[in-house]
Structure 1
Amino acid sequence: MTLKDKVEKNYEPSKKKQFAGQPIIAWIFQILLMILALLIMNHFIVDNIIVIVAAGILVILTFVSLALNNHDR
């Protein structure tokens, strides 16, 4: 679809759910990361390689969701 087609058809890009300029899924990943940090800090779970990998995955998922959101704009 060319720009001319979009203008002629009053094209509106799909609006994704956002809060404070970030997609809701990014907020969920960030909140999960904070909960994980609090659980480690309060010694409810042990700080081992599995927890560190889980935290890394949450960080990567957060950045990917933000990057995909910026790509759509």
Structure 2
Amino acid sequence: MRIWLLRHGEAEPRARTDAQRCLTEAGRNEVRRSAAHLVGRPLQTILASPYVRAQQTAELVREVLGFGGMVETVP
């Protein structure tokens, strides 16, 4: 089994709560570039924390890789 760990991209410096901080445009671009390194590698699932920036990161990875599965949210 191989596990690929990917940290979220750059997030807004402030939001109502830390969990609500969204990715910046630069952060979205960072995620797309990082995800491109995983193209062609086998992937069975994507796990992400419930934080907004982690969910956004996971969705971008899913899009870049054309992954048909859902993102599983874990605490």
Normalised-by-shorter TM-score class: 0.3 to 0.5
More helix by share: 1
Structure with greater Cα Rg: 1
Instruction: Considering Cα pairs closer than 8 Å and 6+ residues apart, tell me whether 1 or 2 has the greater RCO.
Output: 1
